Amino acid sequence: MEIDHIVAVGLFILVLGIAIGFVSYSITDTRESIKLNNLKKKSDVIFQNIFREDTNISLLSKAYKVHVYVETPPKDSTEKEIVIIDLGKYGEFDQYSITVKDDLGNKYAFDESGTQIRFSSYINKIPKKFTVFYDDDSNFTSARTTTIDGIDSVKEKVYIPEPIRIIQFRKMSELSKRQYTTSSADYHISIFTNERQYFNYGPKPRPTQSVVVKEVPVLLQLPSADIIEARLRLEVF
């Protein structure tokens, strides 16, 4: 009888310990869920501020891209074909922000004459597509034009500029010089590709901190005015 009593007491203590442990775990888990939920709400606000154009941590700016289709020459030619585009027809543009690429991502040198730009390329038996990128409020100050040679024997189709959203070099430069401040949660912004890191702002979270991460693809404007595909990551903690 005494042994049964001891066993019963032991079982009671064991069950009580399990129950207390379960309650403690549930409370801890609930607190962590509430904390992560609050961080998620704060990360939504910070993320929106990065991708607006009028906030103190804004990195976004409007730029433009112009698609250009160049027809094939009337006969086989060993000469480069000159392509001429008048950007002045479409409004203001920053002459130092211009970048010309083909479908394969190859960059092309160009020169300027007034509001016109000219570049050249070999055009074989297949029409070729180019894209001209530019913005109207960058902070580039160096001309990147060069002498262009070739002939102008084919017609090009120039389409109306399309607005695009880019992470602008000017805004990255301004933000990197600005003192880090926060009114809600701490955050870290990074912009990168698989090959390299381009931008970091704000402290990084400690390994023991809870973190909410948002990551999206972006178009990034480089110091050379080139525009590439990259990724932006926001960590809020």
- Model pLDDT for residues 73-113, shown as the tens digit of each residue: 777 777 899 999 999 999 989 989 999 999 999 999 999 98
Q: Do strands 227-236 and 212-221 pair parallel, antiparallel, or not at all (unpaired)?
A: antiparallel
Q: How far apart are CA 222 and CA 232, in angstroms?
A: 14
Distance of CA 48 to the CA centre of its chain: 14
pLDDT computed for residue 7 by the predictor: 45
Q: How far apart are CA 232 and CA 8, in angstroms?
A: 60
Q: How far apart are CA 72 and CA 74, in angstroms?
A: 7
Confidence of residue 61 (pLDDT cuts 50, 70, 90): very high
Question: What separation, in Å, do the N-terminal and C-terminal C-alpha atoms of the chain show?
Answer: 58
Is this prediction's pTM over 0.85? no
pLDDT computed for residue 204 by the predictor: 95
Give yes or no for residue 14 having a pLDDT over 60. no
pLDDT computed for residue 29 by the predictor: 61
* DSSP element (H, E) containing 117: strand 116-121
Q: How far apart are CA 122 and CA 72, in angstroms?
A: 10
> In the numeric block, which tokens belong to residue 11?
């079982």
> In the numeric block, which tokens belong to residue 61?
């700016």
> In the numeric block, which tokens belong to residue 32?
């962590």
Q: How far apart are CA 23 and CA 18, in angstroms?
A: 9
> In the numeric block, which tokens belong to residue 121?
């390329």
Confidence of residue 17 (pLDDT cuts 50, 70, 90): very low
Q: How far apart are CA 121 and CA 137, in angstroms?
A: 29
* DSSP element (H, E) containing 233: strand 227-236
Confidence of residue 180 (pLDDT cuts 50, 70, 90): very high
Q: How far apart are CA 227 and CA 198, in angstroms?
A: 13
Sheet order of strands, 81-86 included: 81-86, 116-121, 111-113
- Sign of the C-alpha dihedral, residues 116, 122, 123, 128? negative
pLDDT computed for residue 236 by the predictor: 96
